[in-house]
Amino acid sequence: MREKNNAPERTCIGCMQRDAKASMVRIAVVNEHAEVDFEARRAGRGGYLHPAPECVERFVGLKVKEFRALRRKIERPERLEIAAAIKQRLDRNSKVE
């Protein structure tokens, strides 16, 4: 029998795999604009993405009509902005260590 884990899980909108919410970055829709919500405190609809290069690249290249978690379409320029923000944060964190 599997041990019950009470940690919240979310599905990555890049790779579509379920994982712990704490291991992902939230994408929030704020004033009709999708942006990275690193603190996961913004109000409104949100989706989650692993901060791994392969998930971010897949997210940018997806040809979905609408992200169900966000209930809206995210055009490629907006996806590229999100990817750049995540990459910048990862680069900054790797320099600190």
- CATH number of the domain at 9-96, out of 3.10.20.740, 3.20.20.70, 1.10.760.10, 3.30.1230.10? 3.30.1230.10
Q: HEC string of the chain?
A: CCCCCCCCEEEECCCCCEEEHHHCEEEEEECCEEEEECCCCCCCCEEEECCCHHHHHHHHHCCCCCECCCCECCCHHHHHHHHHHHHHHHHHHHHHC
User: What's the pTM value of the predicted model, to 2 decimals?
Assistant: 0.85
- The one-digit pLDDT tens for each residue of the chain (97 residues) are 455 668 899 999 999 999 999 999 999 998 889 999 999 999 988 999 999 999 999 999 999 888 999 999 999 999 999 999 999 998 887 765 5
